Structure 1
């Protein structure tokens, strides 16, 4: 799969930043007054966390929204799934904190379960943590285009098909996957755009009984939040956008930014290896070790415990997975070391975590939703021929990730109509906090100020750390975000937090 994912909040979720263009906003539609019928659902938290935390209640509900906010009165609706986590000892309650992990394709329901025990008590004491699966995701009218076999083929495919025969094979697989979405969903594909989902957020706000929205969005969730702020600036109380996406980039610029970000993150990993040989069995030259492993896999791939071959594609997926958090760097080094000894288990463990592939070979709908939303959002995907040219150019600029990041072959052959999100100022909105991590691979730090400036009301908060997203990683970041969420105290301009 050519889109790279981003995120490290929950152990079983990954999410990607989009590679899509920007367009003009449509006229906002006021959310119809609605309510949510809640039911107790501790089993959802247990499934996500492996346990049911004490002193927290978990309730599930659904908000009904128009399928098409541009034609909201035709009677056709989607159901948006919610999870509300509420600490039993709440005091000084402010309201609800709506959360989204990004993706597109990540489950906000699962994220709310994780954050119910992962956020500081200063926040959970005052807010219900409410997560939602956006339309097309997880429990909310999930789109499912791709078979398990197609996804295995996609992840395992050669990440840099050099020969024309190999390239044609990649184009054919992408065409089959695109056509499967078109055949199954037809004209309704356009209904899964980011702008449609942002309108859903206002219906959720109304259903929660909140006059104004308090929101925490990670990665692609920053794009959702930014789109909401443009559509409903008067309905914003506080937005924290962590792992910022720059909505002004076209698809090519966004993809190149991500290739550069992952290349930089891999360089940081390699430098860590060189300086920590005792923890890194592929030291002193981690780049050479990974490159050698991928080259060897092109000729004689190691078989994993389930019979899969650890191809160059699977190895690159494992590398990408490990760059979301510095804590996974040692796992990658061990996995590559074991691979050259004939053991591919570590490579597949990292890759399957990223892909949301279970032990039976079944996938969630993360990548189906990811592709549908990204392709629908992008009004100007380059042609296959243009992508072929970018592949050659970016291979030189970004040796590990450039070629594969360039090849957005599914969107290049997308059968559905496009629906671009807006990219402009959030006129009338209060201050928004935009958080960036200097070592972020998937939403590179350079995008942080771009998003803040575009909104016109953004304040940048910087973490000098590694991996994707910052809150609540360190005390400095945590304190600054907490004060904003609780007291609406905006961080001082230029606030920068050290790695530790």
Structure 2
């Protein structure tokens, strides 16, 4: 089962921390109320409920052991964990509350502090609290020296009243399924599984399932900004985080101080156009991986034709799933899990060596490496449980759109795209049925020109397989004061991977020095 943005990972390589932070969460009456209150907000002028106090707890003792030994852990950081409440529905602010969770990382002895920098890693569904911890370690010291790094888990994600309605067993089954199926019987079975998942989530949350949407998450962010005491918002969003950020800018243009949108999701693309662009992007990324592998002095472990190698491996796994040497692992690698591992590694060129070795090992009968990559992508833990990233990904994606596709339309697209994008095409087409089966109120994303905002920096990467650079071009054009920066590199998102991009972003965030629109940074 897939979603529109396919569990997009952060450009900052989020830690995948399991933040079971003792003492950092509280049960709060709002958590229970959120399951039954009515949802479904409009995109008109937002309501103005009062910002609530944040209940802060010192959580150094929980986070320090997790980050010990990691690059950047020598920084003199203080971590605080907090909870606050927001309305379930901004159309009915008195109708119940949701509890939100956030992490704030502060460098002791900051010089000329500016305020908070909100970070969001994307998804939707990824934990911004995890991202803030990682960002405090890896963002340039000039940024951490002048901003507190804040990660607010969006409603339904991480520890912010997480939406949880898909069982671990269902996730195992869906991710193991062959995503390239084009025969009608197999597709009908997949559609039935998707409908079962959708019905289960609807039964669990009723109308409140629609509360997990981007428009209301943006409104939440403004309340938390006020609670932190910041006059305006500083924001760094990756991938889906560009959708959340641009939605905030549309609703609250005058409250933006600085906003960086890296790896932009195209605001103008239809669901079908976005799905096809991503299939095409991942096909191109696999070809780039293959070319890199063939250029290795030591030789490519996949032989002279890495694409043919992968095709043969998928055929092998379809006939006899491949076992794993990983201790305690009972699963075997199916075509679905292999392609999940491939997709995971294609996000960043730094993972390409691991991908090559993992595919070669799988061909020799050991799928441990490729399963590890797949689990990184889906949020599966070593004990077989999953984070709620999949649940949140579907809930938010489907709440954000009112587009629907019939089964017959999806089947026709799957056949067409399978021929044109043989690794990822059918899967991308079948993903379009997911939200058609979803049973929840919808709050479609507004058009986003953010009229009245200050300059907003939009970054695109030429070789981005997840959010093609055309999305950044379109978003920068859509925004009244959008400024486009293009990196001629590869992988998902750009900051702070290269000196040119880093210098431009740092100057913008710190001094509001806006780079020239259309600036291109070399790979």
Instruction: State the TM-score, normalized to the length of structure 2.
Output: 0.91
Q: Which residue matches 1:473?
A: 497
- Which of 435, 452, 464 lines up with 1:428 in the alignment? 452
Give the Cα–Cα distance (whole angstroms) in 2 for the partners of residues 34 and 167 of structure 1. Answer: 48
- Is structure 2 residue 2 aligned with structure 1 residue 2? yes
Question: 1 CA distance for matches of 2:322 and 2:394?
Answer: 29
Give how far 1:122 is off.
0.4
8 Å contact 2:125–2:158 — kept in the other structure?
yes
Query: Is this contact kept in 2: 1:157–1:311, CA < 8 A?
Result: yes
CA pair 142-156 structure 1, distance change in 2 beyond 3 A:
same
State the partner residue of 1:70. 91
From 408, 414, 427, give the equivalent of 1:391: 414
CA deviation after TM superposition for structure 1 residue 322, in Å: 0.4
Question: In structure 2, what is the Cα distance between the partners aligned to 1:286 and 1:277?
Answer: 16
Kindly provide the CA deviation profile for residues 470-489 of structure 1, in whole angstroms up to 9, marking residues without a partner as x.
Answer: 11101111110000000001
Q: Is 1:284 aligned to 2:286, yes or no?
A: no
SS at match of 2:89: coil
Kept in 2, the 8 Å contact 1:135–1:197? The answer is yes
1:217 to 233, 237, 241: 237
2:390 — aligned with what? 367
Change in 2 beyond 3 A, CA 1:464/1:240: same
Shift of 1:313: 0.2
Alignment counterpart, residue 462 of structure 2, candidates 438, 448, 457? 438
1:410 has 2:441 as partner = no
Tell me whether 1:332 sits opposite 2:340 in the alignment. no
> What are the superposed Cα offsets for residues 100-156 of structure 1, whole Å, 9 maximum, x if unpaired?
111100101111100111011100110000001000011100011111110000110
Whether the aligned pair in 1 keeps the contact of 2:345 and 2:355 (CA below 8 Å) is yes
Q: 1:238 to 1:130 in 2, by over 3 A?
A: same
Give the CA deviation at 1:11: 4.8
Instruction: Indicate the residue corresponding to 2:145 in structure 1.
Output: 125
Cα deviation code 1:27-77 (max 9, x no counterpart): 222352433232201144336535665510001112211110122133x11
Tell me how far 1:279 sits from its aligned partner: 5.5
Q: Is the 8 A contact 2:168 2:386 kept in 1?
A: yes
Q: Matched residue of 1:79: which SS? A: strand
Q: Is 2:270 the partner of 1:247?
A: no
> For the residues of structure 1 that align with 2:235 and 2:49, how far apart are their CA atoms?
17
1:259 aligns with 2:282: no
Count of aligned pairs? 490
How far 1:381 sits from its partner (Å)?
A: 2.1
Residues 459 and 486 in structure 2, CA contact (< 8 A), matched pair in contact too:
yes
Please tell me whether the aligned partners of residues 212 and 237 of structure 1 are also in contact (alpha carbons under 8 angstroms): yes
Equivalence for 2:37: none
- In structure 1, the residue matched to 2:487 is 463
> Within 2, Cα distance between the matches of 1:270 and 1:378?
35
Q: Which of 477, 482, 491 does residue 506 from structure 2 map onto?
A: 482
The aligned counterpart of 1:318 is 341
Residue 84 of structure 1: SS of its match in structure 2?
strand
Task: Find the aligned partners of 2:67 and 2:89 in 1 and give their Cα distance.
Answer: 34
Instruction: Give the 5 Å matches for 1:173-212.
Output: 173-212=193-232
Stretch deviating more after TM superposition (153-162 or 212-221):
153-162
Report which stretch shifted further, 269-278 or 457-466: 269-278
Task: State whether residues 14 and 131 of structure 2, in contact with CA within 8 Å, keep that contact through their aligned partners in structure 1.
Answer: no
Instruction: Tell me the secondary structure at the aligned position of residue 174 of structure 2.
Output: helix
Q: Counterpart in 2 of 1:28?
A: 46
Instruction: Please list, as runs of the form range in 1=range in 2, the aligned pairs for 1:344-363 lying within 5 A after superposition.
Output: 344-363=367-386
Give 3-state SS (helix, strand or coil) of 1:485's partner: helix
Q: Deviations over 1:353-399 (max 9, x none)?
A: 11111111110000000011111111012122211111011112211
Deviation of 1:277 after TM superposition, in Å, equals 5.5
C-alpha contact (below 8 Å) 1:31/1:206 kept by paired residues: no
Aligned counterparts, 1:131-170, within 5 A = 131-170=151-190
- 2:56 corresponds in structure 1 to 38
What is the TM-score with the length of structure 1 in the denominator? 0.95
Give how far 1:283 is off.
3.5
Q: Give, in whole Å, the separation in 1 of the partners of 2:373 and 2:274.
A: 25
Aligned CA-pair RMSD: 1.7
- Seen in structure 2, the aligned counterparts of structure 1 residues 205 and 361 have a Cα distance that, compared at 3 Å, is same
Q: Distance in 2 between matches of 1:31 and 1:276?
A: 58
Equivalent residues of 1:98, 1:216 under 8 A apart: yes
Mapped partners of 2:174, 2:297: distance in 1: 34
Q: Deviations over 1:146-173 (max 9, x none)?
A: 1111000011001122222211211111
| 1:177–1:410 CA contact under 8 A, matched in 2 | no
- 1:18 corresponds to: none
